[in-house]
Structure 1
Amino acid sequence: MRYEILHRPSFSMAHIELESGEAIKAETGAMVSMSSNIELQTETGGLLGAFKRSIGGESLFLNTFRAQGRGDVQLAPAYPGDVEVLETTEAIYAQSGAFMAGPEDVEIDTKLGGFKTFFAREGLFLLKIQSSGPVFLSSFGAIYSRELVNERFIVDTGHVVAFTEGLDFSVRKVGGLKSTFLSGEGLVAEFEGTGTVYMQSRSIDSFVGWLTPMLPSRS
């Protein structure tokens, strides 16, 4: 498998080349185009797996693109933003909706975040992704990363895309209730340990908050 990320960072698209017999799994709706010799199959990956993905904000179904001879497929997220490729055998913890594609053996589980969860708009769940090959994650806005080595780092929760195993986090508010309300800031995640945090340059919540007053009111 070979890949290239095109049109970064605002309207990124993954161009993936597959050798004969190779396959990649992707979220339904992610396909932009593909070679005529790519075979497409839609599956749930089992009822339990589909249920876990659905409560984590992902689709019930995954599409498998298998090359019958050398071919290519183009994938893109549903919203304007970036695509990052993570090649690691470590577990990746991602916000709901961040998974776009991965190799055929990719495993997507849902981890209960409990009180610690900082993805407030997504509920109590994180995605736990494990794979032997490249995992394609999408974001709202550009993706950038910060490597941590036995240190602490604070990120606004609306800007976190994913983080690698080896990092723990706690969630707290910025300042008191008054300063939180007036500053426009809310919850932050404080990471600690050794690993990598992937962040997005825009927040969907902030964008929705900016856009809502401009929408026509219902009569």
Structure 2
Amino acid sequence: MAFCGNCGTRLKDGAVFCHECGARQDAGAAPPVRQTMQPPSAPPPPVYQAPPPPPPATAVTGAIKFSVEEKQMLKMVKVEMQNTMFRCESGAMYYMQGNLQIESKMPSAGGLLKSMVTKETAFKPTISGTGTVYLEPSFGEFTIMDLKNETWILDKGAYYASEMGIEVGLWTNKAISGLFSGEGFFQTQVSGTGKVIVVSNGPLEEINLVNDRLVVDGSFAIARTAGIDFTVNKATKGLFSSWTSGEGIVNTFTGTGKVLIAPAANRHVTMMNYLGSIYRRVIAIKNS
């Protein structure tokens, strides 16, 4: 059985030409292969790809180092920064060098209230970047406290600067303690992990209490841990004893924890206080 190699028609036996198209036939020609057109395949459905995440914000997690330097009779806090940030009291920056920026945000209503009842300013600017910062000098003493997930209560005006891992808040004293202690109803509370700079009139001494009691005649207790109970008491039991002993109201710290006291001002603060008292007396005599 033969087929036309041109049109595919079945040939008669022995035919040399195709009776359909007239094409000459070669012996044993195979029928042409008919190619059927395949419909184009549908494109694959699109695969959903989530958009790439936004680039992470610049992290301020570098190194920071606090140190205290003495220049003439003054003490200064030096802050060395490497891509990091810290917080300080308003106006505490003295001078700085490097790629550094200062930012001060509007405080909350609670922050404004806190500033009214403590000696801490409501605006606590942050300084960020890389460089060196010197804070305002003082005749007093600067102490670097290293908190390890702790909470401390600070005397009014003692807070100076801190790392960003430290939260600065408000501590409320008992009514009677706030009225007669000299500390006031509200004090500054610092908590967290990081370094805190406190300022005092003299060098600090650390007193450890273990279910014990510390009695202080004056407001030179600069800081205490939150576990210490603070009250105000009479120095002696009876009214006559208080009058004859010369001791009136004293601050009492009880419990287990630590208390930082500055029992004596340094010589520079003592000299300034002495000169200040003379100046006030002169002005009083002049105005009288």
Spell out, residue by residue over 1:81-112, the C-alpha distance to the aligned partner (whole angstroms, 9 max, x if none): 11112222211101111110111243222222
CA apart distance, 1:45: 3.6
From 151, 162, 168, the counterpart of 1:102: 162
Paired residue for 1:29?
A: 91
2:66 corresponds to 1:3: yes
Verify the 8 A CA contact 1:117 1:125 in the aligned structure 2. yes
Provide the aligned C-alpha RMSD in A: 2.7
2:127 corresponds to 1:62: no
Paired residue for 1:214?
A: 281
Q: Which has the higher contact order (CA 8 A, sep 6+)?
A: 1
Q: Using the TM superposition, name which of 100-109 and 90-99 deviates more.
A: 100-109
Q: Classify the secondary structure of the residue corresponding to 1:87.
A: strand
Give the letter aligned to residue 197 of structure 1: V
Runs of 4+ in 1 over 4 A off after TM superposition: 118-122
Verify the 8 A CA contact 2:98 2:132 in the aligned structure 1. no
From 162, 178, 186, the counterpart of 2:243: 178
Aligned-pair identity (%): 25
Change (3 A) 1:141 1:118: farther
Spell out, residue by residue over 1:160-202, the C-alpha distance to the aligned partner (whole angstroms, 9 max, x if none): 111112211221233445346xx4x553222222211111234
Paired residue for 1:42?
A: 104
Verify the 8 A CA contact 2:172 2:186 in the aligned structure 1. yes
From 140, 144, 150, the counterpart of 2:205: 144
Change (3 A) 1:119 1:141: farther
Task: Give me the TM-score of the superposition, normalised by structure 2.
Answer: 0.63
Give the letter aligned to residue 263 of structure 2: S
From 126, 129, 133, the counterpart of 2:187: 126
Instruction: Give the unaligned 5+ runs of structure 1.
Output: none
Q: Classify the secondary structure of the residue corresponding to 2:255.
A: strand
Spell out, residue by residue over 1:124-179, the C-alpha distance to the aligned partner (whole angstroms, 9 max, x if none): 21111113211111112222221222222222332111111221122123344534
* Structure in which a larger fraction of residues adopt strand: 1
2:130 corresponds to 1:75: no
Aligned length, in residue pairs? 208
Change (3 A) 1:174 1:12: farther
Q: Classify the secondary structure of the residue corresponding to 2:77.
A: strand
Larger Rg: 2
Please give the alpha-carbon distance, in whole angstroms, between the structure 2 residues aligned to 1:56 and 1:119. 15
Please give the alpha-carbon distance, in whole angstroms, between the structure 2 residues aligned to 1:119 and 1:32. 36
Please give the alpha-carbon distance, in whole angstroms, between the structure 2 residues aligned to 1:51 and 1:38. 30
Q: Classify the secondary structure of the residue corresponding to 1:19.
A: strand
